[in-house]
């Protein structure tokens, strides 16, 4: 057969040739793999070098930032400490002068801080029965109230560490001497309060004993009224026993009450004692905030945990050091081999990295401790819930306004009788008020009981027929003119046994806002008060702090119901608006210290000053209290040249460590247009001016053009201020700064607006 075409040209490879080709292929693959390996090693080396360089640059930037923050915060701290030292010197000097002025007083008034003097004064007053007439009691009552105010001022104004009274040296050596001293002063205050009430009762007894001599010539009943700026005593005595008399009104005080038929036929008297002060609420346990007690961990367990954490940290540091050392050796060896193979000099980047690595880390600035917070990590305290009956008033949620009023039913003492030329009087010893026990039949539990037994049903029917004999007493009163009631007031009576205000026993409430008349029916006589929701004006709608000139500004707060303006000048401030509330005319324009203005406004019914536990009753912005306090301090430093205002983004940004507000340089005493305002962001470590505005749709933390972040708000504002604004800030005195800071800290506008 003829051979196939092409088969002659194809040569069959021998075994040796095949092995040779295979070896060549394997060698080629090995070369390629080696090249790939070397390339990967070079890429890995370059990546590590790049990461190392980036890490070194990052560390360098961090060190620069730390050093910059450290310098700025040290400068800010020095400024604040200097202001605080001058303020402390001023306050210490003021307290020394007040103490010396008290020592030099020669008006016969006792020093309430000297137990010997004040105890002698109280005992002599109690033993003195010759000066129980109402004129003497009211005059001495003014002195007693001034002594109480003096003690209050001493306890509030003097720091506990500085409470040093020469006459009480024996308390200093005791472990809890200062606390015992404070309790002694509080007991003295309570004794003075009780003295005032005791003397008013004695004056009441004297007036009741002279009822026939003081009776009204038209009605032949006792109608007596005597008052001063703090106390008003009104007494009506039933001498005529006229059943047609159904009510009586003290027109001078706008107080009216009904007289049940049963009482028109009895020898009784009604006393209405109105006082501008409230000496009862402070004895109630709900008057003060109560912190929840946290279980303290066992000390041994705590020490074990600390030792374990310390051991773990040391092990982690050792592992990290070993890894860094091994990585450094591998890198150095590899770089040395490559340089040896290629004959190249070490790159400049490596030298740069080594130089940066040699730089030591800058020491972190330790944040200053604020007075209320000893540690940044400490969270705000939790507060105890109100756990009383529903009829008991929570004084954390409600405030007594307008003082208190005593509405008492008393037995008329035997009246003097004239027989021939003799006046015969039956003496009552001791001369004390004899109160008449009167409780309206509506409070009889039998009348309100359902499903009673047959015998109880008969008794209930008999009582129902007589229930009109002791009806509830209808009372109508005009609200105190010095207090602003923004809603219908609540009325409560004082339970002297359990020391709290109660709301049971009151019905048929009516309130006329125009005439300011409030009426109700009460089943009880006793001590009563009008109360209002303490947080009715919270949260605020908006706020603004605008400068007038150096060391002068105005704080505007639009609260939930009322809008107020507080003028600030140096160390003093005053209420300047609203203009349409006649109840506030007596305090408008009065220049006071921030503490006194806060007390005055609260007493007048304007509470825009949250308490420590107000967050329990009001929805607020959850912001870290330490950052908030820092912000108020730094706003106060710049308040002579910058205006500040609320921002909607502060509530929409849920991060509690970010505070947002508006600010603008304001050197002219006039409102600013919207385009002048800028947004500022403040955190624990940074403060910056944002590019976005209040009216943007989306939130962004981009810097405003031409600006950079600073470690604190004060340096941010001074860095980007005009020369005139910086001069104003530098000229701001420490008293103005403290006044603004106190008001901002008291209103907490960044969390309650």
3-class secondary-structure state, position 372: coil
- Structure confidence at residue 136 (pLDDT): 95
Give 694-750 pLDDT, tens digit per residue: 999 999 999 888 888 898 999 999 999 999 999 999 999 999 999 999 999 999 999
**Packed helices 734-747 and 15-103: angle between N→C axes, nearest 10 degrees:** 110
Look at the alpha carbons of 199, 202, 203, 204 in this order and tell me if their dihedral is positive or negative. Answer: positive
444/467 Cα distance (integer angstroms): 9
Beta bridge partners of 400: 531
pLDDT at 424: 80
pLDDT of residue 146: 94
DSSP 8-state code for residue 551? T
Residue 382: predicted pLDDT? 83
**Please, are residues 63 and 362 in contact by the beta-carbon 8 Å criterion?**
yes
Give me the residues paired with residue 532 across strands.
399
pLDDT at site 316: 58
Collapse the DSSP code of 403 into the 3-class scheme (helix H, G, I; strand E, B; otherwise coil) and give the result: strand
Give CA–CA dist 284/494, Å, rounded.
10
* pLDDT less than 50: residues of the chain: 1, 6-7, 167, 298-301, 331, 334-335, 338-339, 341-347, 349, 352-353, 356, 371-374, 446
SS (H, E, C) 151-185: HHHHHHHCCHHHCCCHHHHHHCCCCCHHHHHHHHH
Q: What is the pLDDT of residue 231?
A: 95
Inter-residue contact 738 to 83 (CB < 8 Å): yes
Return the structure tokens found at 19: 């092995």
pLDDT at 535: 95
Q: What is the DSSP string of 442-509?
A: GG-TTTT--S--HHHHHHHHHHHHHGGGSPPEEEEEEPPTTS--SS--EEEEEETTTTEEE-TTEEEE
**What was the pLDDT predicted at 300?**
46
Quote the pLDDT of residue 373.
Answer: 41
Closest C-alpha among 97, 100, 151, 96 to residue 122: 151
Alpha helix stretches (DSSP H) within 104-160? 115-127, 134-157
Residue 46: CB partners within 8 Å, gap ≥ 6? none
Q: Could you tell me the two tokens for 529? A: 């008060």
Omega prior to 706 cis, within 30 of 0 = no
Q: Which of 100, 120, 101, 97 is nearest to 110 (CA)?
A: 120
pLDDT at 166: 53
- Alpha-carbon distance of 526 to 473, in angstroms, equals 12
User: Can you give the pLDDT at residue 427?
Assistant: 75
Q: Which of 613, 595, 622 is nearest to 534 (CA)?
A: 613
DSSP 642-663: EEEE--THHHH---TT-EEEEE
Q: How far apart are CA 98 and CA 110, in angstroms?
A: 15
pLDDT, position 342: 45
């Amino acid at each position: 057969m003829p051979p196939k075409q092409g088969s002659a040209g194809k040569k069959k490879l021998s075994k040796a040739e095949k092995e040779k080709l295979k070896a060549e292929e394997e060698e080629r693959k090995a070369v390629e793999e080696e090249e790939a390996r070397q390339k990967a090693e070079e890429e890995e080396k370059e990546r590590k070098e790049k990461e190392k360089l980036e890490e070194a640059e990052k560390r360098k930037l961090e060190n620069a930032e730390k050093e910059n923050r450290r310098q700025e915060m040290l400068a800010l701290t020095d400024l604040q400490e200097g202001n605080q030292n001058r303020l402390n010197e001023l306050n210490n000097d003021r307290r020394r002068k007040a103490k010396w002025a008290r020592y030099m007083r020669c008006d016969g008034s006792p020093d309430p801080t000297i137990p010997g003097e004040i105890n002698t004064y109280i005992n002599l007053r109690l033993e003195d029965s010759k000066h129980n007439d109402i004129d003497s009691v009211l005059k001495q009552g003014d002195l007693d109230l001034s002594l109480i105010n003096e003690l209050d001022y001493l306890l509030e104004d003097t720091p506990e560490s500085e409470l040093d009274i020469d006459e009480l040296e024996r308390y200093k050596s005791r472990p809890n001497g200062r606390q015992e001293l404070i309790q002694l002063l509080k007991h003295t205050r309570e004794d003075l309060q009780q003295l005032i009430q005791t003397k008013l009762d004695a004056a009441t007894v004297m007036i009741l004993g002279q009822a026939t001599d003081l009776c009204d010539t038209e009605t032949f009943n006792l109608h007596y009224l005597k008052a001063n700026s703090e106390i008003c005593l009104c007494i009506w005595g039933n001498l005529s026993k006229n059943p047609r008399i159904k009510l009586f009104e003290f027109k001078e005080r706008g107080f009216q009450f009904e007289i049940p038929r049963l009482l028109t036929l009895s020898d009784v008297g009604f006393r209405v004692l109105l006082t501008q002060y409230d000496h009862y609420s402070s004895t109630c346990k709900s008057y003060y905030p109560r912190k929840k007690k946290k279980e303290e961990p066992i000390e041994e367990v705590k020490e074990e945990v600390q030792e374990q954490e310390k051991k773990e940290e040391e092990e982690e540091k050792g592992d990290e050091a070993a890894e860094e050392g091994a990585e450094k050796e591998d890198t150095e060896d590899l770089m040395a081999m490559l340089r040896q193979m290629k004959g190249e000099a070490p790159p400049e980047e490596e030298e740069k990295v080594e130089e940066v690595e040699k730089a030591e880390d800058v020491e972190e600035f330790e944040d200053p401790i604020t007075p209320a917070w000893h540690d940044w990590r400490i969270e705000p305290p939790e507060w105890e819930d109100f756990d009383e009956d529903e009829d008991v008033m929570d004084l954390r949620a409600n405030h007594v306004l307008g003082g208190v009023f005593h509405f008492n039913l008393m037995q008329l003492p035997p009246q003097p009788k004239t027989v021939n030329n003799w006046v015969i009087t039956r003496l009552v010893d001791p001369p004390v008020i004899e109160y008449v026990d009167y409780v309206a039949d509506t409070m009889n539990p039998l009348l309100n009981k359902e499903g009673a037994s047959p015998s109880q049903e008969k008794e209930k029917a008999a009582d129902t027929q007589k229930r009109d004999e002791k009806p509830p007493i209808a009372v109508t009163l005009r609200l105190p003119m010095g207090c602003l009631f923004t809603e219908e007031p609540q009325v409560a009576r004082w339970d002297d046994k359990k020391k709290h205000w109660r709301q049971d026993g009151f019905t048929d409430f009516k309130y006329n806002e125009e005439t300011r008349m409030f009426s109700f029916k009460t089943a009880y006589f006793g001590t009563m008060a009008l109360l209002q929701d303490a947080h009715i004006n919270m949260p605020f709608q908006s706020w603004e702090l605008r400068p007038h000139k150096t060391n002068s500004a105005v704080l505007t707060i639009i609260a939930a119901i009322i809008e107020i303006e507080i003028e600030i000048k140096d160390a003093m401030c005053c209420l300047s608006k609203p203009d349409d509330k006649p109840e506030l005319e007596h305090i408008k324009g009065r220049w006071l210290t921030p503490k006194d203005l806060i007390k005055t406004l609260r007493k007048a019914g304007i509470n825009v000053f949250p308490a420590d536990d107000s967050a329990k009753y009001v929805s607020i912005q959850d912001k870290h209290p330490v950052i908030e306090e820092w912000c108020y301090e730094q706003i106060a430093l710049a308040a002579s040249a910058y205006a500040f205002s609320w921002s909607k983004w502060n509530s929409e940004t849920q991060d509690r460590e970010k505070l947002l507000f508006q600010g603008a340089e304001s050197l002219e005493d006039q409102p600013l247009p919207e385009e002048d305002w800028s947004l500022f962001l403040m955190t624990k470590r940074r403060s910056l001016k944002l590019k976005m505005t209040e009216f943007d749709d989306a939130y962004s933390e981009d810097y405003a053009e031409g600006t950079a972040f600073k470690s604190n708000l004060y340096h941010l504002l001074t860095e980007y201020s005009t020369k005139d604004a910086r001069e104003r800030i530098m000229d701001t005195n420490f008293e103005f700064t403290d006044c603004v800071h106190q008001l901002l800290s008291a209103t907490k506008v960044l969390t309650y607006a």
